[in-house]
Chain A
Amino acid sequence: MLPIILLSVFGIALLFLGFAKSKAILLPATLLFIAIAFGASFVDWGKNYMYFNDMLLSTNLSIAFTAIVLLSAFMVVSLSSSFLEDESAQPAEYYAIMLFSLVGAIMMISFENLIMLFVGVEILSVAMYVLTGSDKRNLRSNEAALKYFLMGSFATGIMLFGLALLYGTSGSFVLSDLRSYVNGGVAYGSPLLLYMGLLLLLVGILFKVSAAPFHFWTPDVYEGAPTLFTAFMSTVVKTAGFAALLRLLSFSFTGIYSFWGVILMAVTVITLVVSNFTAVYQSSFKRMMAYSSISHAGYLLIALTAVGQQSKQALVFYSLAYSVATIAAFGVLLVVSRHQSGEGKPTDESYDAFNGLARQNPLLGFIMTVAMLSLAGIPLTAGFWGKFMVFTTAANRGIFWLLVVAVLMSAVSIYYYFRVIIAMYLRDGQTTAIRVAPFYRYVLIAATILTIVLGILPNLVRSLV
């Protein structure tokens, strides 16, 4: 639990570093801070410890998710050099808020008490509302922030209702108490309140991970937010949300699987179908990525629906593969859209921005291609093994019809992921060579290499968890 304390202190330190004359120190300082927290998260490896009066539990699984979240944050921050050129940007505050939001994410990953889950969700969400609206002069950014805030507050309220009902039936917020209550005492208590509580709690978290039918905020918010924070949102928030769901469902509520299994199955199917078919009709790349992130929430939900020992591995691997590929894709979009839009013009985030990109920029083209292949789940990329493991969990559980839907939908997804590749390699465009800062390039290359290495040697991560 060292990372929680460290990141809180570092966040405050960053706020004061912002008063320094040169802003150049902020980026390396933030990267150093996240790297330290990353290292510190492994202190508890191999031990099961309760922290802070039994509020948080550290296990290998929670450390793995923490590491993924911190790695994603590290990569997103390292792509953020454009802040330092922008006059109206407040880099110190952005970085500090990002570090604080990581504290919330880690709380969501390793909670043992439902209060910690709520506090974690709130820390993460409030930070995201602010970051979404951080482009203050942009109307779309403001609109996105307001929408996200209003809908997010409603979701939080619903979640709180759920927590209250769970407490009302079981008399405890502690996960292990809930587990023994669900496994033993359901017949004597009032299962209706328990079911309602769990349902409302699920709705709250499913909203945060943007699963359909609670996904309506996602495209607008992802499109309106600055691209960098979209990348942050679609990786960190999603990973943390699924870690929280896994902890809840695989530990406390296995006893009433017959109740929530059906609900999750329905949500999974709706998510997969709606997101993949809507993504096909998008003309904006960024909006397509928003729907793509919804569809990946659907694949992750399959592993939860078929909850078992293997779903833990599957979720960890899938989150890692998804995060790395998504950040690489957004990283390329960031440089390309900035290059395509001249002074004063709005940034071009449509597919057309990628036309003919690969001629003059073979490296960017290759990075984007690998990211798209990984998201589509083509073999020799990490995304393939992620999907493979997720589908295996469903097959082992015997939910074959869900598997069929998922495979069909991932065939649909190939269409919209390949549109980018076709635009880059086969369309004509006037894209000149784009100059990419060395560090920025290294991070994108590292993401690509990681995607390919995990695609060839998936056991590197699988054997750890």
Chain B
Amino acid sequence: MNAAYVPSDYLPVFIQLILALGFIVTTMIVTHMVGPKRNSQKKDDPFECGIPVVGDARTPISIKYFLIAILFVLFDVEVIFMYPWAVNFKQLGVTGFLEMILFMGLLLSGFYYVIRKGVLKWE
């Protein structure tokens, strides 16, 4: 417990917040006022690598893309946990090693489940 902190100690944080917000708002207003405006049909179109815009963006997409994407994020994030563990490998000792084996075991059983479920099959 550290009773030395009082609300006024957070003042710098608030100043930083106001400065950050102020910068964004000011630049947006100034660019709108100072910058030249030349509108045309072509310019108001959404930009897509120079290709003419076709159809609606909300077309149905195969669920497989989402599954692959979400699984990638999942395993990607789990792997991050191995870095701090690897750095502190010696200090954590046998307990840390066993805990990591447990963690990886759960993770791999999930991976096995995903494969058995046929999520990664791409006919």
Residues of A bordering B, CB below 8 Å: 12, 15-16, 19, 168, 170-172, 177, 181, 185, 188-190, 192-193
Size category of the B interface is: 10 to 19
> Chain B 12-50 against A: per-residue CB contact (8 Å), 1 yes, 0 no?
000000000000000000000000000000000000000
Contacts of B3 in A (CB 8 A): 185, 188-189
Residue of B nearest to A13 (CB): B109
Residue of A nearest to B113 (CB): A15
CB distance A172 to B113 under 8 Å? no
CB distance A19 to B116 under 8 Å? yes
Residue of B nearest to A189 (CB): B3
CB distance B1 to A171 under 8 Å? yes
Known: A12-B106, A12-B109, A16-B113. A190 touches B1 (CB 8 A): no
CB distance A177 to B7 under 8 Å? no
Which of B1, B5, B6, B116 has the most A CB atoms < 10 Å from its CB? B1
Residue of A nearest to B10 (CB): A168
CA distance A192 to B7 in the complex (A): 10
CB distance A193 to B1 under 8 Å? no
Residue of B nearest to A169 (CB): B5
Residue of B nearest to A15 (CB): B113
Q: List 12 additional contacts besides A16-B109, A185-B3, A192-B7; criterion CB under 8 Å.
A: A16-B113, A16-B116, A168-B5, A170-B1, A171-B1, A171-B2, A172-B1, A177-B1, A181-B1, A188-B3, A189-B3, A190-B6
CB distance B106 to A193 under 8 Å? no
Contacts of B116 in A (CB 8 A): 16, 19
Query: Could you list 9 examples of A-B contacts with CB < 8 Å?
Result: A12-B106, A12-B109, A15-B113, A172-B1, A181-B1, A185-B3, A189-B3, A190-B6, A192-B7
Residue of A nearest to B8 (CB): A190
Residue of A nearest to B105 (CB): A12
Residue of B nearest to A192 (CB): B7
Interface of A is mostly: helix
Residues of B bordering A, CB below 8 Å: 1-3, 5-7, 106, 109, 113, 116
- The list of the 10 closest CB pairs from A to B, nearest first, reads A171-B1, A15-B113, A171-B2, A190-B7, A188-B3, A19-B116, A12-B109, A189-B3, A190-B6, A172-B1
CA distance A15 to B114 in the complex (A): 10
Contacts of A189 in B (CB 8 A): 3
Which of B2, B3, B7, B116 has the most A CB atoms < 10 Å from its CB? B3
Contacts of A168 in B (CB 8 A): 5
CA distance A12 to B109 in the complex (A): 8
Residue of A nearest to B106 (CB): A12
Contacts of A193 in B (CB 8 A): 7
CA distance A19 to B118 in the complex (A): 11
Contacts of B109 in A (CB 8 A): 12, 16
Contacts of A15 in B (CB 8 A): 113
Instruction: Report B32 CB to chain A, min CB distance, Å.
Output: 32
Contacts of A12 in B (CB 8 A): 106, 109
CA distance A181 to B2 in the complex (A): 11
CA distance A193 to B10 in the complex (A): 12
Instruction: Report A136 CB to chain B, min CB distance, Å.
Output: 11
Contacts of A171 in B (CB 8 A): 1-2
Contacts of A170 in B (CB 8 A): 1
CA distance A192 to B6 in the complex (A): 11
Instruction: Report B63 CB to chain A, min CB distance, Å.
Output: 11
CA distance A192 to B10 in the complex (A): 14
CA distance A171 to B3 in the complex (A): 8
Contacts of B1 in A (CB 8 A): 170-172, 177, 181, 185
CA distance A190 to B1 in the complex (A): 13
Contacts of A177 in B (CB 8 A): 1
CA distance A189 to B6 in the complex (A): 7
Contacts of A185 in B (CB 8 A): 1, 3
CA distance A172 to B7 in the complex (A): 17
Contacts of B113 in A (CB 8 A): 15-16
Contacts of B5 in A (CB 8 A): 168
Residue of A nearest to B116 (CB): A19
CA distance A19 to B109 in the complex (A): 13
Instruction: Report A169 CB to chain B, min CB distance, Å.
Output: 9
CA distance A185 to B2 in the complex (A): 11
Instruction: Report A389 CB to chain B, min CB distance, Å.
Output: 38
CA distance A122 to B113 in the complex (A): 23
Instruction: Report B112 CB to chain A, min CB distance, Å.
Output: 8
Contacts of B106 in A (CB 8 A): 12
CA distance A190 to B109 in the complex (A): 48
Residue of A nearest to B1 (CB): A171
Instruction: Report B89 CB to chain A, min CB distance, Å.
Output: 20
CA distance A185 to B5 in the complex (A): 13
CA distance A190 to B2 in the complex (A): 12
CA distance A193 to B1 in the complex (A): 15
Residue of B nearest to A171 (CB): B1
CA distance A195 to B5 in the complex (A): 17
